[in-house]
Amino acid sequence: MRTERNESISLELISLRTLYANKNAVWRTSVVQIIATLMIYIKTGHPIYVAFALAFFLTILCRIANATAFEQADLSTATPATLKKWEWRYLSGALTTCVLLGMLCFVSIYVLADSSAAITSVIIAVASMVALVTRNYVSPTVVVGMSVGILAPLFVTFILLGGFYNWLLALLIIPYFWSNLGIASNLRRSLFDALLGKRQLGVVANNFDAALNGMPQGLLMFDSNQTITVANMRAAKMLGFDRPEQLQGRSLEALLRLAQLGGGFTDDALGSLRVKIRDLLNGSKQRDTFVSPANRHYEFTATPDPQHGTVLVIQDVTRRADAEAQINRMARYDSLTGLPNRSQFAEIANTYPNTLQPGAQTILMVVDIDGLKRTNDTFGHRIGDELLRAFADRLASVDANHPVISRFGSDEFVLLFSATSHEEALLCVERVMATIAGQYVVSGHEILIGVHSGVAIADAAKFELAAMHMNADLALDVAKKETQKKWAVFVDTMDHSFRSKQRLKADLRRAIADGALSVAYQPIVNVRTLRMTSCEALSRWNHPEFGAISPAEFIPMAEEMGLISELTRSVIERAIKDCSRWESRIAVSVNLSSHDLQNMDMVNIIHSTLRQHDIEPHLLEVEVTEGAIITDRETTGSVLAELKDYGVQVAIDDFGTGYSSLSYLKDLPVTKVKIDRSFIADIVKEGRSLKLLRGIVQMSHELGLSVTIEGLETSEQSDLINQWIGAEYVQGYLYGAAMSADEIVKLLDIPMEQRLLAVKSDHASLLH
């Protein structure tokens, strides 16, 4: 028993000495890791890589200190517990390095998604994996720990990246992990069997040979005279030989001559390979790559030993190189159309003027496809994707000088080209627009699309990509709003308009935050009694410098800025508060936008405000337009149903100007219809308009809905509505414009019928 125990301790001590014998190699490897990490920092400028470099540096200092302590320690009487302690000390340092390598890959590939950093990080990690087995195979704990430290973060990275290709890469890590464990196990078992004498020398040699030839990497061992002493089958196949015995005993020069005679290498390829291997064997390099004439990518890693020569590990990294090339392409090109993406376009565009003749004009077009969402909704996203590819192909075929085309977003493309003059540039833009707009046949579907474009033109000598792109975007906005020819060229007034709008946006944001917007109320009158039954709350903004700003201008601006819900909330709170001052004699009506109808919080806001001011829910009416409903009918219906169940009245505003009006009346929890002013504009002169209006009112009544007619301006309109239409309520300037809450309070003490008749008389006299 004592003999077996001593042999066990002896084997453990040999294993430890083998582990700690790699101090110099570990130091050199760490230096390479630190330098490579700092190179990534220089390339990307991200400070996290400085942290990684510092972590590598501190780790190697600890590992060298630990190795020095091991060398100085007297282990002749060491116990198994002491040896295990030294093994765990070695593992802690090695595992820290491996985890740092794995996390470096995770940060570069997934967190920062920088292609250069990702490639360098993966190269460092994979290169470290190459030497892991050959240096640490004596300890299964160390091999497992270091393998997991490197491969686990890579596995998680590819899983998080998503997609079939990345998941496949993640799965390939698992057999690679087990392969390393198997190889280490075979090497360790072979070595231990030889030391213990449990097997004959031939068996040990066979096992070692099997393990060596089972390695996924090629291995060549050179002595100090650069003669091959050990080779495995993988290395022989990589160099064009059938058996490893054909390599053993040959010098490097003889090996390369035989490889050339075998027809596997050209003179240039052989010369390049000779230089690379010599540098590795001489110690001037520890790692290098080589691309064979068959386009296979190999990575060479050298582990020099001053007494016994150099071990050269050769790994086929073709798949990794292909993956890196694919990753690089994905980082630079749009996966759907194959066009350069935003970053690649910027790289090309910044050097574009250098290719042009002096005096040339550069033209930047930002092109938007109209109705792509409608195409996706109608035909499906597959057809939408095919349409985008067809559009990209047609854009690539335009008649332009040196065009550079890029896809920036879902339906946004950018075209950069040149012209000899401003006039030629405009003609070219006309040709481009004529080419890309029109009919497309996609999978048997005929799809008619329109496009809008903003154009920026500048001398090549004054080309500045960021400024031109911003100017083209401004021109695109103008083209979408104003021009009939679907495109506009940037002029300086657009920039002034843009800056004015940006200032107005900033002022609006402050005004909403400070509660500087006011609320006015327009009476809604009962047709039969001529009494005011409610008021519509209307937001008003009196700018301190520009005066009154039209709601038609600042409300769309609030929607664009994402402030519409804040604006609605302030109007609701103010309207309900003012309604409480009217002693429940009249109700108040507020408008909800499409954004408000997507937010269930709006229901809670209305509930809490009504309770706060002790207002009955039926005294509040919410108005929604058909355009607001169409965004998401399911969510909209839920919000409106909640409000109606609570007792709040629900009205469809501007009825008849949207889509599928009748289906809204049937499906949504509506209590009132407000007919748009366009329906009564010519009822005095046009009999058909009168009949149409009467039909809408009758249909609404049959559905159990009350009706308000908007836009009443003349007595003749009022008489016709009262005599022929049958609507319950009217609203318009004839019975009063929007007024303040204080004016409403003052008028509440005047008999309603007399006040409204007076207003009607005053307004009629003004019209005459």
Alpha helix (H) residue ranges in 197-317: 201-213, 233-238, 252-261, 267-282
pLDDT for 373 equals: 81
Distances (CA, A) of 396 to 333, 341, 418, 564: 15, 14, 15, 41
DSSP annotation of 107 reads I
Share of the chain above pLDDT 70, in %: 84
**pLDDT(588) > 90:** yes
pTM of the model: 0.46
Distances (CA, A) of 624 to 214, 528, 564, 565, 591: 73, 26, 14, 14, 6
- For residue range 636-685, what is the model confidence (pLDDT) as tens digits? 888 888 899 999 999 988 887 655 456 667 777 888 988 888 888 878 77
pLDDT for 364 equals: 92
The span from the CA of 467 to the CA of 456, in Å, is 9
Q: Long-range contacts for 368-377 (Cβ within 8 Å, ≥24 apart)?
A: 368/411, 368/412, 368/451, 368/452, 368/453, 368/476, 368/480, 369/411, 369/413, 369/449, 369/450, 369/451, 370/449, 370/450, 370/451, 370/452, 371/449, 371/450, 372/410, 372/411, 372/449, 375/447, 375/449
Question: Nearest CA to 536 among 729, 761, 328?
Answer: 729
- Burial class of residue 388 (count of CB atoms within 10 Å of its CB; 0-12, 13-18, 19+): buried
- Rama region for 45: left / alpha / beta (φ>0; ψ in -120 to 50; rest): left
Q: What is the dihedral of CA 31, 37, 43, 49, to 10 degrees?
A: -140
Higher-confidence residue of 555 and 202: namely: 555
> Residue 138: pLDDT band by 50, 70, 90 thresholds?
low
Q: Concatenated DSSP letters for 366-403?
A: EEEETTHHHHHHHH-HHHHHHHHHHHHHHHHTS--EEE
* 587-591 vs 532-543, strand pairing mode: parallel
- For residue range 467-508, what is the model confidence (pLDDT) as tens digits? 888 888 888 888 887 767 788 888 776 666 666 677 778 888
**Residue corresponding to tokens 């802690």:** 92
The span from the CA of 213 to the CA of 245, in Å, is 12
According to DSSP, the residues that pair with 729 across neighbouring strands are: 526, 708
* 672-675 vs 706-710, strand pairing mode: parallel
Identify which of 195-204, 317-326, 328-337, 400-409 has the greatest average pLDDT. 400-409
Contacts of 694 (CB under 8 A, 6+ apart): 724, 725, 726
pLDDT for 1 equals: 42
> Residue 537: pLDDT band by 50, 70, 90 thresholds?
very high
Higher-confidence residue of 373 and 729: namely: 729
305-324 core/surface letters (b: 16 or more CB in 10 A; e: else): eeeebbbbbbbbbeebbebb
The span from the CA of 124 to the CA of 122, in Å, is 5
**Residue corresponding to tokens 């109608």:** 378
- On whether the CB atoms of residues 504 and 557 are closer than 8 A, the answer is yes
According to DSSP, the residues that pair with 579 across neighbouring strands are: none
- For residue range 215-229, what is the model confidence (pLDDT) as tens digits? 777 888 888 778 888
- First-residue to last-residue Cα distance in the chain: 124
- On whether the CB atoms of residues 453 and 486 are closer than 8 A, the answer is yes
Residue 451: CB atoms within 10 A of its CB come to 21
pLDDT for 41 equals: 83
Lowest mean pLDDT among 11-25, 302-316, 708-722: 11-25
- On whether the CB atoms of residues 452 and 476 are closer than 8 A, the answer is yes
pLDDT for 662 equals: 63
The span from the CA of 417 to the CA of 469, in Å, is 13
Structure tokens of 525?
A: 């009158």
Contacts of 720 (CB under 8 A, 6+ apart): 683, 684, 690
Lowest mean pLDDT among 41-50, 158-167, 553-562: 158-167
According to DSSP, the residues that pair with 239 across neighbouring strands are: none
pLDDT for 752 equals: 47
Lowest mean pLDDT among 22-26, 357-361, 594-598: 22-26
